[in-house]
Amino acid sequence: MDFPTPQPPANPPTTILLDKYELGRLLGSGSFAKVHVARSIETNQLVAIKTIDKKRTAKAGMEPRIIREIEAMRRLHHHPNILKIHEVMATKTKIYLVMELAAGGEIFTKILRSGRLQEPEARCYFQQLASALTFCHREGISHRDVKPENLLLDKEGNLKVSDFGLSALPENRTSNGMLHTACGTPAYTAPEVIAQRDYDGVKADSWSCGVLLFFLLAGYTPFDDSHFVIMYRKMQGRDYKFPRWFSKQARFIIYRLLDPNPATRMSIEDVSETKWFKKGLEVSEFGSSVLDSDERLGRMRSDTITAFDLISLSSAWDLSGLFERRERKRTRFTARVSVEGVVEKVKTVGEKLGFRVDEKSEARVVGLSKGRMMVMVEAVELVEGLVVAEMKVVEGVEEEEDESYWSEIVVELEEIVFAWHNEATLQ
């Protein structure tokens, strides 16, 4: 009896995007987008493509953030340590951001694997970061979310600054040149930003760089953000300890960067003039970029990129959610009402939306539960006249029903919210 010859399994069908790119493996996904490795059919170049769902972003009011991300990357396109955006494409339902592929992954992952970096390696990355941020600042752009998750590495190990979704463009400043929108990741955010004061975005980036340098050398941050108010007080009081292996020069720079007074805080350009920073610095490789090549890079930068005509360019978006870990939702907001006012509002919202309301004995904590989901809200006075509240899911799963419950609470609380913090979680 003859048996049919076994056939090799068929290759899975490839996805061709707009006749230009062949999509490969998934790199990451979030509530609004997916990121794939892709190959250009024309050039064979490997890129990363973020596919953004228009309907979901519109529903959450996130379109302005998308636009700001694109505009900032367009203006900073030619710096070697800033992730490049090659092209933007759009259909009726999707936006596609075609970007440089950072094959080396996040510095955050590198630290998780190694524990911490030796000082020469940390300094090398810090030199490249300073180069990129100096260029940003001279272009009038503040990053406002400098953290290891937003620092990527290419296949040669060169640093690439990414995620300009929270960046501030020159047109976002007030008449006195200051910024007023509180944003960023709490452990890396300057105290004047947390306190809701007008602030200098350049000096806020300097603070974040101080936290980052500490993290690179220690493997952990100087301030624990598990309790928001305590963290803020420690920032204000410079309440942190250096590990014994930090050099005196590194301690000096970090101490000056983590100055709670932005007026006396060391700038990134000032850091680039220190002996510690210049040690091992090859002028041909980094030095010209940090100290004197911004004008040259500015001349290289094109004022227009035709692919960007697909989208009207103006405001902002936070892309950190694209790579978020699958954690339960959590966010913070500030309110210019009393702690009691926040508690009463949360209780009213819960009753209105059909949640079971459970006020804890502390009188500043409220639990809201419905179905399999439970949300906890805790309010604490940060400074006189300003309350910070943390809202988090303590029970529940990532399902559409729970997404709807979370969104309903967020919408109803808008009446008392002065500003949301860590907005990537409002998804």
If asked whether residues 261 and 284 sit together in one domain, one would say yes
For residue 312, the model assigns a pLDDT of 32
pLDDT digit string (tens) for 333-364? 888 888 899 999 999 999 999 999 988 766 68
Structural domains of the chain, count: 3
Residue 241 annotated as part of some ligand binding site: no
pLDDT digit string (tens) for 222-253? 998 778 888 889 999 999 999 999 999 999 99
Q: Which structural domain range is residue 362 located in?
A: 326-425
For residue 48, the model assigns a pLDDT of 94
If asked whether residues 182 and 84 sit together in one domain, one would say no
For residue 322, the model assigns a pLDDT of 32
If asked whether residues 244 and 336 sit together in one domain, one would say no
For residue 260, the model assigns a pLDDT of 94
pLDDT digit string (tens) for 34-48? 889 999 999 999 999
Q: Is residue 355 situated within a structural domain?
A: yes
Greater confidence (413 vs 424) lies with 413
Give the count of beta carbons closer than 10 Å to the beta carbon of residue 229.
Answer: 15
Average pLDDT for 91-105: 89
pLDDT digit string (tens) for 184-204? 578 898 888 887 777 788 898
If asked whether residues 52 and 110 sit together in one domain, one would say no
If asked whether residues 94 and 110 sit together in one domain, one would say no
pLDDT digit string (tens) for 305-335? 333 333 333 233 333 333 333 456 788 888 8
Of 67, 100, 133, the residue that ends a domain is: 100
- What amino acid positions are annotated as catalytic residues? 145
pLDDT digit string (tens) for 72-90? 777 787 899 998 988 888 8
